[in-house]
Structure 1
Amino acid sequence: MADLINIFEERGFIEKTTHDEELKDYIRNNKITCYIGFDPTASSLHVGSLIPIMALAHMQKNGHRPIALIGGGTGLIGDPSGKTEMRKLLNPEMIEANLSGIKKQLSRFIDFSDNKALLVNNNEWLSELKYIPFLRDIGKCFSVNRMIKAESYKLRLDSEEGLNFIEFNYMLLQAYDFLELFDKYKCRLQMGGSDQWGNIVAGIELIRKVKKDISFGITFPLIKTSNGAKMGKTAKGAVWLDSDRTSPYDYYQYWINTDDRDVARFLALFTFLPIEEIKDIEKLEGADLNSAKTVLAFETTLLAHGRDEAVKAYQAAASVFGERFVPEDYLMHSTVPRNSSKAEDISVPCSYINQDVLKLGIPAFKLFHEAKLTVSGAAARRLIEQGGAYVNDRRIEMFDEMITSNDIMHMEILLRSGKKRIHKIKIKQ
């Protein structure tokens, strides 16, 4: 069985582990069950959730059984970890709707058939808990003095809003989840983000006290881009895994615009390409590094949206920005198209307009707003005044410049906001 801890360390997944040597021995010598919890606060996960998703997928690829625990019960309370104010409370109907979307997205990365992986909702047991027995059997195992020293609680205690008593219970409930999964599925490993360290250790302690047995924890580092930005955040907001929220084309564009310094690191974290091939591109620059970005964008889109959408996004980008050639001997395990393929713009955001309308012309700021390249007409004016608006790669100087039929090229007009965001106006006769 592959040495999964080494795989995680090589690819940059691990920040902390408990029981270091015992954990390594346990994973090397057993087919294990592990779990990660996912908050059902939205109907879609986003790029910031990819580290735990990829970790579970690596577990499965290496012969282990992952559990994706959806917090249908804890979601009714809200995790205070990493938050300076209380989360908005969700009702059961909202959570149920969110669960459906999350399962669909996880299924792109993890095979849930034939119990190869499990999708479990903690509402199954948390909703059945009785308060007094829970306090007697579980609450007695927790020291309030130790709890309030946990980073997740300290942040809230020091905030203006403070820590709500409902949230104070969250650590107990997450620890109880681990105990429940230990009992039901022999799950001995919990993984999560760095902000979950205190909750994970609480679960390990609870299992030790109640079951007199050992369990383990792994936390992942908070992944930021080299310029310090949080992963998955753009000027437009979060980059979602749901294609209705972030189109496969926009998802592809997010990855292809990766900072040069992050390409090798992100290939290791967010694709399954062999680490040896990834190490070979660490010193590349210029056009060669752009080819690596193409592979990164294609492979990440392939995982999240499937091959058809990844190919469409690749071809659409080629139709607008030109095709990037990826040599045959370059990151060889990638299935990115390597031969010149017909560049299609099927995935490029576009809209249609009658040619007659353009005879009179449309003010540039209005056209950019209608194409949803800005959130308002005023924002479109600012974009143009700051020199960030282009029509067919020609910079627009005046916000009220009229865009007319003279701007039509091959029965379309290409609008561009800054370097990255584009929109095609297709002309109807």
Structure 2
Amino acid sequence: MTDVLDELHWRGLVSHVTDEAALNTALSEGPVAYYVGFDPTAPSLHIGNLVQILTARRLQDAGHKPYLLVGGATGLIGDPRDSGERTLNSPDVVAGWVDRIRSQIEPFLEFSGENAATMVNNLDWTAQMSAIEFLRDIGKHFRMGTMLSKEIVARRLNSEEGISYTEFSYQVLQGMDFRELHNRHGVALQLGGSDQWGNLLAGVELIRKSEGVAVHALTTPLITKADGTKFGKSEGGSVWLDPEMTSPYAFYQFWLNQADADVVNYLKVFTFRSREEIEALQGEVAERPFRREAQKALAGDVTTLVHGAAATEAVIAASAALFGRGELGELDERTLAGAVGELPRVTAKAGDLVVDLLVGADLVKSKGDARRAIKEGGAYVNNVKVTAEDQALAAEDLLHGSYAVLRRGKKTLAVAAAE
């Protein structure tokens, strides 16, 4: 218990702390009950949310007791954002997203034992509260000057869109959550991202004013790339935890493609490797960057955490098979679909000429280039060399009746997909 805050610092997971000395004392004397919240504003969490989930896991591993809040109430409102008002989703949609997100969080923590995790929903205590009770019991502890000074609120007030009373009130609801969990379960620490610092302080101040007790808040920094650009986006948009929204193959490739300048920091934040292991991988980055050992470790660890060891093995096999180092026909349909999902695509059917497919998939510029590639031995269907200029796609070439992998040379890939 005494080393967990030092560990969080080493991993770059501490941005703001209300009173670090007092928190360090509480953690060393532990166990401390703490919570982190997730709003169901989409049907899945994304990799940015992993920072909080894994930080919660690190504290649990150190002997502290986690409460995971999925905001069935705050999800109906939406945290203010820079780009204007959120679209309000229906209660049925939000309730469905609550269930989905709970199921995504559960595998990361232990729900049995002395410091078992507990899942909570703030709709349980918010839905029964009347507007009068909310204003009298909670609202009277908040000062308008403090609320208006919150960075996101100030930015929205000065924007063309402004901010609605609904989103302005979000910080009050989140502060109420902290007080409720403190009174019900003795929760004394809230975790969150650095962009949530103002909301976390709202809860700390509410408990101080209404209960006369000092509690703690800790935020993690916004994860960025070494060049300062935003982390967590791929060419297709957000990288989701739901395998139907981001395939395990695309998920693995996202981590595998991280830059040398970023990979060590990501190993600290997103994996449970020890200092010694990470320092050894840091040495690999410095001395043999072409081997990409750190990226392979990062991709393997995070994909296993989110999707399981079997899915990780499948995507590694798919990566090898795409480039001729394994059997494409041995991949299951879901893994194959994920592996080819990011590739250039041409519609195909049995009987189509490979020459036409190579052109249609933009692997070559013309039929003449296609014939030349075949003649030189540089065209492949499912890793089998094409030997005849008039070769046609056979029905059995469409793996699972759906996909044939086209390759020109060693690394240029496309997929012929059945109509």
Q: How does the TM-score come out when normalised to structure 1? A: 0.81
Query: Paired residue for 2:95?
Result: 96
Instruction: Give the match's secondary structure for 1:357.
Output: coil
1:297 to 293, 296, 299: 299
Q: Is the 8 A contact 1:70 1:122 kept in 2?
A: yes
- Aligned residue identity for 2:106: S
Contact 1:320–1:345 (CA<8 Å) still a contact in 2? no
What SS class does the counterpart of residue 356 from structure 1 fall into? coil
> If each structure's helix is expressed as a fraction of its own residues, which one has the higher value?
2
* 1:78-128 deviation line (CA, Å, top 9, x unaligned): 111x42301111111111111122122112312234671111110111111
Give, in whole Å, the separation in 2 of the partners of 1:420 and 1:105: 35
CA displacement at 1:342 relative to structure 2: 8.4
Deviates more, 1:223-232 or 1:106-115: 106-115
Q: Which moved more, 1:132-141 or 1:235-244?
A: 132-141
Using the TM superposition, give the Cα deviation of residue 152 of structure 1 relative to its aligned residue in structure 2, in angstroms.
2.1
State the partner residue of 1:75: 75
**Equivalent residue runs for 1:23-422 within 5 Å:** 23-80=23-80, 82-113=81-112, 116-285=116-285, 286-287=288-289, 290-321=292-323, 345-346=331-332, 347-348=335-336, 349-350=339-340, 354-358=349-353, 361-362=356-357, 364-365=359-360, 368=361, 384=362, 390=363, 396-398=364-366, 408=381, 409-410=383-384, 414-415=405-406
Q: CA deviation at 1:280?
A: 2.5
Report the AA paired with residue 254 of structure 2.
Answer: Y
Q: 1:359 to 1:214 in 2, by over 3 A?
A: closer
Q: Distance in 2 between matches of 1:7 and 1:422?
A: 43
Conservation of the 8 A alpha-carbon contact between 1:84 and 1:155: no
Match of 2:391 in 1: none
**Cα separation, 2, equivalents of 1:227 and 1:415:** 35
Alignment partners' CA distance in 1, 2:318 and 2:85: 42
Matched residues in 2 for 1:420 and 1:271: separation?
30
> Identical aligned pairs, as a percentage?
36
- Per the alignment, in what secondary structure is the counterpart of residue 282 of structure 1? helix
How much has 1:301 moved relative to structure 2?
A: 0.3
| CA deviation profile, 1:314-360 (whole Å, cap 9, x unmatched) | 2222223587xxxxxxxxxxxxxxxxx98965434359955422368
Cα distance in 1 for partners of 2:412, 2:29 equals: 50
1:414 deviates by 3.6
8 Å CA contact 2:357, 2:416 repeated in 1: no
User: CA RMSD of the aligned region, Å?
Assistant: 3.0
Question: How far did residue 415 of structure 1 move?
Answer: 4.5
Aligned residue type for 1:294: K
Of 40-49 and 277-286, deviating more is 277-286
SS at match of 1:178: helix
The answer to whether the Cα contact below 8 Å between 2:70 and 2:102 also exists between their aligned partners in 1 is: no
* Distance in 2 (alpha carbons) for counterparts of 1:345 and 1:161: 50
Q: Equivalents in 1 of 2:380, 2:321: separation in Å?
A: 19
Sort the Cα spacing of 1:420 and 1:112 in 2 relative to 1 into closer, same or farther, 3 A: farther
Query: For the residues of structure 1 that align with 2:256 and 2:340, how far apart are their CA atoms?
Result: 20
- Residues 158 and 356 (structure 1), Cα distance of their counterparts in 2 relative to 1, 3 Å cut: same
Q: Distance in 2 between matches of 1:416 and 1:402?
A: 11
CA distance in 1, matches of 2:411, 2:380: 21
Q: Distance in 2 between matches of 1:313 and 1:292?
A: 17
* Contact 2:111 2:118 (8 Å CA) reproduced: yes
Any residues of structure 2 matched to 1:4-19 within 5 Å, and which? 4-19=4-19
Between the aligned partners of 1:120 and 1:16, the Cα distance in structure 2 is 25
Q: 1:69 to 1:319 in 2, by over 3 A?
A: same
Q: What secondary structure does 2:183 align onto?
A: helix
Distance 1:359 1:221, change over 3 A: closer
Q: Could you say if the C-alpha distance between residues 202 and 426 of structure 1 is closer, same or farther in structure 2, counting changes exceeding 3 Å?
A: closer
Q: Which amino acid aligns with 1:182?
A: H
**Residue 292 (structure 1) shift:** 1.5
For 1:252, what is the secondary structure of its paired residue? helix
SS of residue in 1 equivalent to 2:282: coil
Q: Distance in 1 between matches of 2:412 and 2:241?
A: 19
Q: What secondary structure does 2:54 align onto?
A: helix
CA distance in 2, matches of 1:420, 1:99: 42
CA shift in 2, pair 1:160/1:267, >3 Å: same
1:133 Cα offset (Å)? 2.2
Counterpart of 1:110, as a letter, is L
Partners of 1:100 and 1:211 lie apart in 2 by 32
* 8 Å CA contact 2:284, 2:293 repeated in 1: no
1:141/1:209 contact within 8 Å kept: yes
Query: Could you tell me how far apart the structure 2 residues matched to 1:422 and 1:41 are?
Result: 36
Deviation at 1:423, TM superposition (A): 4.9
After superposing the two structures, state which structure 1 stretch, 177-186 or 132-141, moved more: 132-141
**Structure 1 CA distance for aligned equivalents of residues 147 and 316 of structure 2:** 49
Contact kept? 2:359, 2:365, Cα under 8 Å: no
